[in-house]
Amino acid sequence: MESILITGGAGFIGQNLVHAWRAARPTDRLVVLDAMAYAANIRSLQPLIADRSIVFVKGDVRDAALIRSLFEEHNPTRVAHLAAESHVDRSIVDPEAFLQTNVLGTFTLLNTALDAWRSAGALGHARFLHVSTDEVYGSLGPADPPFSESSPYRPNSPYAASKAASDHLVRAYVTTYGMPALITNCSNNYGPYQHPEKLIPLMIIHALEGKPLPVYGDGSNIRDWLHVSDHCDALLAVLARGRIGETYNVGGGNERNNRDVVGLICDTLDRAFARDTRLAARFPSCPAATGGSCRSLISYVTDRPGHDHRYAIDSTKLAGELGNRPGIDFEHGLEPTVQWYLDHESWWRDVTSGAYKAWIDKNYGFRIAV
């Protein structure tokens, strides 16, 4: 049995990782830390909290005293650091929040973990996994090879710059202090429990409510889509067997442009309504409720500043060293993802109330259809 600290454990990837870890290693002690900001949702963790399968702590990774107390009480020898501000559009509006959480939060966690492990003589068997993004590498041209672990850092948004800075901090702690740390850089995730400001859930929910589906620019921007369950499998493998001080890129091998992704979401919803006539009564504003197509809602809007054109990940190192490969192709992963949002209406309706609506109005209200 080991004691594990998972930061950002009530976020999209974090809560999926908690469930994956609990299933893979049921005897480990899981301590889950989350500040419970706008994108966090504790609902899926409540059964685990209730039966004491996990210890949940509401708190900020910048709070050194709190982090120190968690190490003193629970003695974690593994840290999976996922706590982060992660939405590019929000980073454009409020970059300071991203520097605070992503840079200072990572620094505080690194420093406190290092002190705790040194004091306990645990550096030799402890591990710290810093979960980062492919956006630190910048943007690829249409014919460029995918990002590898040796690709230069060229962040183009405040979000990407804050994650690049935190990656560099982790590397510096490995080299300077002997911190037993590893880094993963992943491509775009999708799957259950993703906050509705992200592309895929945003389009699903807008289509169900008969609202325009806002696609930036001409929709040609390309992302490599990684199902969150494949990502969690990779994180477990890297934390268990990865080489200290190394970076591992985690991709889905599913490059799609945004225009095609939105079209596939629309087609998937159209088929779901055709199969299940009860959906029309639940979502009467959706074009598919009356036999139309959700594609009629697609609207092209002015692009966001510094919008990277293409991301793609080369996961050869991960597969070669650790035998980890993604198992879910995009089309097969999208269908159950859409169905999850159909089946969990109460979850996303709670999330999309209040502050979320204000954010959508702020981010998209000024954009002009083109």
List, by residue number, the catalytic residues: 134-135, 159
Alpha helices in the chain, H assignment, sequence order: 12-24, 46-50, 64-74, 88-93, 95-98, 105-119, 158-177, 199-208, 228-241, 258-275, 278-282, 316-322, 330-343, 345-351, 355-364
Q: Which two tokens stand for residue 76?
A: 């974690």
Which residues, including other chains, have CB under 8 Å from residue 325's CB and lie 6 or more apart? 315, 318, 319
The DSSP letter of residue 37 is: -
Q: For every residue of 106-145, which 3-state class applies, written as one string? A: HHHHHHHHHHHHHHCCCCCCCEEEEEEEHHHHCCCCCCCC
Closest CA to 234 of 321, 148, 150: 321
Q: Specify the 3-state DSSP secondary structure of 286.
A: coil
Which residues, including other chains, have CB under 8 Å from residue 263's CB and lie 6 or more apart? 295, 298
Alpha helices in 28-122, H assignment, sequence order: 46-50, 64-74, 88-93, 95-98, 105-119
